[in-house]
């Protein structure tokens, strides 16, 4: 997508925020552990749309 750098691409005030928070570091997990990693929080377009209870 060309020209979206002003609204996306980094975490800054005024930019859209699409991200997830995981229960552990994905990059430290073994391939066998990846399927056990849980999403704790999902933010889409700056709004919380999922939060694990």
Residue 5 CB burial class (10 angstroms; 0-12, 13-18, ≥19): exposed
**Helix-strand-coil split of the chain, %, nearest 5:** 10, 30, 60
Residue ranges in the chain modelled with pLDDT below 70? 1-3, 5
pLDDT at 3: 66
pLDDT at 26: 95
In contact, 45 and 16? CB cutoff 8 Å: yes
pLDDT at 45: 83
pLDDT at 46: 81
Instruction: Locate all alpha helices (DSSP H) within 1-53, ordered by sequence.
Output: none
């Amino acid at each position: 997508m060309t020209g979206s750098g002003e609204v996306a691409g980094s975490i800054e005030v005024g930019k859209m925020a699409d991200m997830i928070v995981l229960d552990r570091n994905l990059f430290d997990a073994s391939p066998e552990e990846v399927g056990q990693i849980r999403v704790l929080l999902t933010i889409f377009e700056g709004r919380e749309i999922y939060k694990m209870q």
